[in-house]
Amino acid sequence: MVVFTVLYGCYLGGEVSAFYLQKFTDFLLIPKVLNLPILQDRRLYLTVGYLAFGYIGFAFFWIGSVLSKGLV
């Protein structure tokens, strides 16, 4: 249950961070200045958000496995 909660939390964190990352880049007018179509694609921001929070989730499980083995 804890694993599912952490994974779902990372998924929601990725969604929220993608939303705010896109709003931030739109605020800075980066897509309009550079005029690259990929910067207007929502999938780019979702991928970045999932990678960031996936890394956090991986670190959570790695630390948990180290602590459960008593290596610290």
- Please say if the pLDDT value at position 6 is more than 90: no
| Predicted local distance difference test score (pLDDT) of residue 72 | 61
Q: Quick: pLDDT tens for 29-52.
A: 988 899 988 888 999 999 999 998
> What is the rounded CA–CA span in Å between residue 9 and residue 3?
10
- Reported pTM: 0.72
Quick one: which of 60, 65, 45, 66 has its CA closest to 7?
60
Quick one: which of 13, 5, 3 has its CA closest to 52?
13
> What is the rounded CA–CA span in Å between residue 18 and residue 42?
8
Amino acid at residue number 67: L
